[in-house]
Structure 1
Amino acid sequence: MEKSTGNQSDYGRHIGKSRSYVSKLVKQKKIPVEPDGTINFARADYALQRVADPARQTVKPQETEPAEQTNLLSSAAEGISKVSQSAPPASNTYADLKTEKEKYNVELARIDYETRQGNLLPKSEVLEAMEGAARTIAQGLESLVAYSSEIASAGRTGGEEAVRACLKSKIKDIRLLTSESLQKAASLETETDGST
């Protein structure tokens, strides 16, 4: 029975390429790898199709050579068709193989649907939005140092209660800044979703 997940060598056999070629794709982040190090064949094939199809690319067209696009597309297409064309081992029935093929096709369709609905975003876009939000939050926290004279003045004139009130005001400002930063990051993701 054709596997739906496996290591780099298994995926290489699935698309008719070497393990080193698959390793190169993984290092270039062209195909996703599961947390346990395995490769989900449907997700990897889908990722290869996105890289190879200029209309669905998330990278600039100049970054991928036309010959490489053709190779990736044909590799992904071969991988998809191999599920139905592979010779079944003697112990498997037609129904088992048909079921495995349908599972694969369902997973591929689910990934495509989730991506189109905006439920799946490229990891790089999410990380970029999070980094921007984190920078803004860090700047807000670092700004507390600039308020030291204001806090000291409040302590001299109003005592502990005035310092507490001043700090509460600054914390409120930082919370507002944090909220705005996270909302901005979410809106960037939403804008990106709308463009797919």
Structure 2
Amino acid sequence: MGLSIRAYARRRGVSHVAVLRAIKQGRVAVEPDGTIDPAKADASWERSTDPGRTRTKPKPAAEKLRPVGEAALGSVRETLREQGLPSGGNVTFVQARTAHEIAKAHLARLRLQRMKGELVDRARATALVFRLAREERDSWLNWPARVAALMAADLGVEAHAVQKLIETHVRGHLAELAEIRAEFR
């Protein structure tokens, strides 16, 4: 037995305008005679209504939670797992909203850190490290020519031989350092 729009609205505890909106949006089906089957309409209403936007009395926890679409499940589960929250089985709307709020908080924190100058651009940091490493390498390559004569005088040996020996060892050490790769993650 079908109910009128106003009767269904009273039964649901909402205005008749809310029921009309639900019909227009396709969230509630109307029978061919223009009435509403309460069982079908209730099930459809529950499936298609965002619980965060309702003003009805709170329902028991088991009824409050409902599964969300498959598209974002992996992301939601990963976010919840990173925060140490349960994420097994079906992901509910509440869990999805929690994951969304966590993501928004992370983005806000990152924006704040960037504005404070606590975060740097990865490409800029890589370029800076490369430039500093090049300056360090050039400084080491010039060092044997500057100190070889002083060391040779202290040791009482030929300066050219000391410079060649120091250059050989410095170049070997720089070759070892060149194998190190900076990774910014």
TM bucket (normalised to shorter chain) is 0.3 to 0.5
Tell me: higher relative CO, structure 1 or 2? Use CA pairs within 8 A at least 6 residues apart. 1
Give 1 or 2: higher helix fraction.
Answer: 1
TM-score (norm 2): 0.35
TM norm structure 1: 0.33
Asked which structure has the greater CA Rg, the reply is: 2
